[in-house]
Structure 1
Amino acid sequence: MTHFHNVKTYLLGLMIVVGLIAQSKSIHAQQFETLTVAGGCFWCVEADFEKVDGVVEAVSGFSGGTVENPTYKQVVNGGTGHIEAVQITYDPNTVTTATLLSMFFRSVDPTDAGGQFCDRGYSYTTAIFAAPSQIDAANAAKARAQADLGQTVVTPVLTASEFYPADAGHQDYYKQSSLVLTRFGPKSKANAYKAYREACGRDERVRELWGSAAPFAGS
Structure 2
Amino acid sequence: MEKQLELATFAGGCFWCMVKPFDEMPGIHKVISGYMGGTLENPTYEQVKKGDTGHYEVVQITFDPERFPYQELLDLYWPQTDPTDDGGQFFDRGPQYRTAIFYHNDKQKALAEASKKQLQESGKFNKPIVTRILPAGPFYVAEEEHQAFYKKHPDKYAQERVESGRDAFIKSHWIQK
TM-score between the two structures when normalised by the length of structure 2: 0.93
What is the percent sequence identity of the aligned residues? 43
Aligned to 1:119: 92
- CA-atom RMSD in angstroms: 1.3
Match of 1:155 among 131, 135, 138: 131
**Greater than 2 Å deviation, 4+ residue runs:** none
Aligned partners of 2:21 and 2:76 also within 8 Å: no
Alignment equivalent of 1:167, drawn from 140, 143, 146: 143
Shift of 1:107: 1.5
Partner of 2:76: 103
Letter in 2 for 1:47: K
- Distance, in Å, in 2 between the alignment partners of 1:35 and 1:76 is 22
Secondary structure of the 1:211 match is: coil
Output the CA distance in 1 between the equivalents of 2:91 and 2:110: 31
Name the residue aligned to 1:37. 10
1:82 aligned partner = 55
1:105-130 Cα offsets, whole Å, 9 max, x none, are 12111011111011111111100111
- What is the identity, as a one-letter code, of the residue corresponding to 2:158? K
Q: Which runs of 5 or more residues in structure 2 are unaligned?
A: none
Counterpart position of 1:5 = none
1:141 to 104, 115, 124: 115
1:211 positional shift: 2.2
More relative contact order, 1 or 2 (CA 8 Å, 6+ apart): 2
**Structure 1: 5+ residue runs without aligned partners?**
1-23, 177-188, 214-219
Give the Cα–Cα distance (whole angstroms) in 1 for the partners of residues 125 and 150 of structure 2.
33
Q: Does 1:190 pair with 2:166?
A: no
Q: Indicate which of 137, 153, 164 corresponds to 1:200.
A: 164
Cα deviations by residue, 1:148-193 (Å, 9 ceiling, x for unpaired): 22431100100111110101111011111xxxxxxxxxxxx22111
Displacement, 1:132? 2.6
- Secondary structure (helix, strand or coil) at the match of 1:81 reads coil
Query: Structure 1 length normalisation: TM-score?
Result: 0.76
More helix by share: 1
Partners of 1:105 and 1:143 lie apart in 2 by 12
Number of residue pairs the alignment of both structures matches:
174
Q: Find the partner of 1:69 among 31, 42, 47.
A: 42
Cα distance between partner residues in 2 of 1:203 and 1:53: 24
Decide which structure has the larger Cα Rg and report it. 1
